[in-house]
Amino acid sequence: MPVSERLGSHLKRAAQALSAAKQATLKQAGLTVPQYAALLYLSDNPGMSAAALARACAVTPPTMNTVLKNLQEQGLIERTPHEWHRNILETRLTEKGERVLADADPRAVRVERGLAAEFSQEERETLVALLGRCIGFLESARQAEH
């Protein structure tokens, strides 16, 4: 099966180009792409658990653990034990985290807006729908595998 016929290779290249573009612009704010994603969700949901954050960002808990560790070392987040549910750690942005996110977000949004502007409203909806079907199939295939 020729590579050019494989939807996967187009998908992968597009995702990689996106990641590279975001990485280039976020670097100026001192963040990586996963760090930015985590801060963005935390900003909307202060105090959410690392596990919930991992689900939101579509990564595994150990991966999120790594990202949070780096964010914590930079003083951008703080993690405090939950009042009574002692098994969960509440994660929140620090003031510095808010400032860094406020610097990074416009940069990331600029990339997204630029990308969106390449398409008409109808094309965007088509693309999102097609990608959604890819995700649906691939995730069910993954489950069926085992």
Identity of the residue numbered 136: G
Applying CB under 7 A, the span of 1-9, 60-68, 102-110, 119-127 interacting with DNA comes to 60-68
Rule CB under 8 A: is residue 126 a binding residue for a copy of itself?
yes
Rule CB under 8 A: is residue 51 a binding residue for a copy of itself?
no
With CB under 5 to 8 Å by kind, the binding choice for 89 among DNA, a copy of itself, none is DNA
Rule CB under 8 A: is residue 102 a binding residue for a copy of itself?
no
Residues that bind a copy of itself (CB under 8 A): 1, 3, 5-8, 10-22, 24-25, 40-41, 58, 109, 111-116, 118-119, 123-124, 126-128, 130-135, 137-139, 141-142, 145-146
